[in-house]
A and B are shown apart, each in its own frame.
Chain A
């Protein structure tokens, strides 16, 4: 057991500490808060802004789609074969990311992709409408591929936890399906929903490989920026990379805390 902790200390805690201390040091190793201050540089803020936009958009859209598919699998009563396929693929797609995912989307909706070509045969020029895969929306679309299955995986147990007697009791008391959702189901589900979307957010925020493979660094996310920093790129201040990294970790830690808190609330009602 000791080897385990030594290993963790060496390969996890040590690099983490180096990053942490590095954020508060300048080029000569002196303590400074200048790195943190330069996080507010417009260039950097823009990167955070884009990352946040991508992450929020993905988590909202992925959350919505994932919830609806999870609904179809559970309460909605989709046929057995559909349920099986959707569940299995959610498990698969949630793990499918990085470079292969980018390749898959390039092959499908890239300029010469399968779907693009298919749409051309019915006179729909996808790229003519201004859409391009190598952009904010293209990236969002690609991220959704592993985000909404993640939502499905988290929401399915939550939706299964909705006792069907609640719906029947509601109907019996005179509620329409919409009223059931409004007064009972959604109030009970919202901690799970929010918690899951936070997971999605964190997942998108920290992603690097797909974005790099898809946009080649043209879309300046924080993760891309850090990558450029590592390669010794142009920002001029080596320690800024540390600060960027710290900023990311703080945001991710907030996400995890938020998720844990909401998870406790979830189990309260859906036991």
Chain B
């Protein structure tokens, strides 16, 4: 039985449906991300699980019990807020201990647990400091410790890294995953940063405008997107407008060239479709004779481990990511170069209206 069930949850705010028919089953110990742009409903859904919002319809079940109408201070979930929300009038130790203090645990047990958690978050000497004396990253770690102290069944994180600098964000991201795996707690993580979601999660829930676009592992979501939104939102995407040439053969015509997709297409000849391809699938050079394209180099960005080349192909722009090699001769702007990609690397989706 799934540990956490969110069943057919809808949330309506003043005539606007911000969450539409949200369904998700989470196994114990899983790390799930809700990924999507602002306003997609991810935070609202999280808050429904936390108990700060009531769903307009649908239920939430935790370990078999229906918690939909339970007040937030009775649920056994721990929450980490974007703005840390540490109590400024309490020391780090008191903040972390707060959940246990409320539950009237014995003093020595509390002290032990606080020490344990401060070790876990690598801040053992800061127990007597006040939040104002800590950096943003340190405060967020304390917030995490506080949420974990009373051993909740689920950990909820609402964009915990958005307020931090890039470098701290990267460090803390690793920390959060390490701690989560160490403790083994079921976790839901809300973010709009797809790199974060992909790096941390066992599964990702991609949302847009209140709807779940796709649920899957990072690999699935990246390589097998089910909707154009997911394809475009996660990672960089090349899109070419094409028309079907031969449905059985699976060939398409784009910008005057014919490409093979390696699988039959369920649309008649002439039907307009979008061909989608990840930048890293484009190989530099003629390749094995399949799916070649020649474009004029518009831009070359040397990013260290990768080299990003932007190409002009007819009326479209393509992005190609190449691995760096010391012996690589970088393409130059204005030159025409040939790239190729294997048939199965691409996929097709319905044409989207230009926006």
Contact = CB atoms under 8 A, between A and B. Distances in A.
A and B in contact, CB less than 8 Å: yes
Interface of A: 163, 165-166, 168-176, 179, 183-184, 187-188, 268-269
B102 A174 contact: yes
Contacts of B90: 183-184
Contacts of A184: 87, 89-90
A184 B98 CA distance: 10
A176 B83 contact: no
B103 A168 contact: no
B103 A169 contact: no
Contacts of A166: 85, 87
Question: Which of B77, B86, B98, B146 gathers most chain A CB within 10 Å?
Answer: B98
Contacts of B102: 173-175, 179
Contact of A165 (B51, B85, B103): B85
B52 A168 contact: yes
Give 8 closest A-B pairs by Cβ, nearest first.
A165-B85, A173-B99, A169-B85, A171-B73, A172-B79, A171-B72, A187-B89, A269-B88
Contact of B73 (A163, A176, A183, A187): A176
B81 interface: yes
Contacts of A183: 87, 90, 98, 101
Interface string B123-159: 0000000001000000000010011001000000000
Given A168-B72, A175-B102, A183-B87, 10 more contacts: A169-B79, A170-B73, A171-B71, A171-B73, A173-B102, A173-B146, A175-B73, A187-B89, A188-B88, A269-B88
Interface in B23-42: none
A162 to B, nearest CB: 10
Given A168-B79, A169-B81, A174 B88 contact: no
Given A168-B72, A168-B79, A173 B89 contact: no
Contacts of B143: 169
9 contacts: A163-B83, A168-B50, A170-B98, A171-B73, A173-B146, A183-B87, A187-B89, A188-B87, A188-B88
Given A188-B89, A269-B88, A172 B83 contact: no
Q: Chain B: interface secondary structure?
A: loop
B87 A169 contact: yes
Interface of B: 50-52, 71-74, 77-79, 81, 83, 85-90, 98-99, 101-103, 132, 143, 146-147, 150
Nearest to B97: A173
Contacts of A165: 81, 83, 85
A269 B89 contact: yes
A239 B89 CA distance: 50
Nearest to A179: B102
A270 to B, nearest CB: 9
B47 to A, nearest CB: 9
Given A163-B83, A165-B83, A179-B102, A172 B50 contact: yes
A70 B20 CA distance: 37
A163 B87 CA distance: 10
A168 B50 CA distance: 10
A174 B81 contact: no
Question: Which of A165, A174, A184, A188 gathers most chain B CB within 10 Å?
Answer: A174
Nearest to A269: B88
A172 B72 contact: yes
Contacts of A176: 73
Contacts of B89: 184, 187-188, 269
B81 A168 contact: yes
B41 to A, nearest CB: 18
B85 A173 contact: no
Contacts of A171: 51-52, 71-73
A188 B131 CA distance: 13
Contact of A174 (B83, B87, B103): B103
A188 B86 CA distance: 12
Contacts of B81: 165, 168-169
Nearest to B94: A183
Nearest to B149: A173
B4 to A, nearest CB: 16
B83 A173 contact: no
Contacts of A188: 87-89
Nearest to B87: A184
Contacts of A175: 73, 98, 102
B151 to A, nearest CB: 12
A176 B79 CA distance: 16
Nearest to A189: B89
A227 B64 CA distance: 77
A132 to B, nearest CB: 45
A171 B72 CA distance: 6
A171 B79 CA distance: 10
B79 A174 contact: no
B79 to A, nearest CB: 4
Nearest to A166: B85
A188 to B, nearest CB: 5
Contacts of B101: 183
B78 to A, nearest CB: 7
Contacts of B73: 170-176
Contacts of A173: 73, 78, 98-99, 102, 146-147, 150
A270 B73 CA distance: 24
A102 B346 CA distance: 85
A172 B76 CA distance: 8
Contacts of B99: 173-174
Contacts of B88: 188, 269
A174 B150 contact: yes
A165 B150 CA distance: 19
Contact of B147 (A163, A172, A268, A269): A172
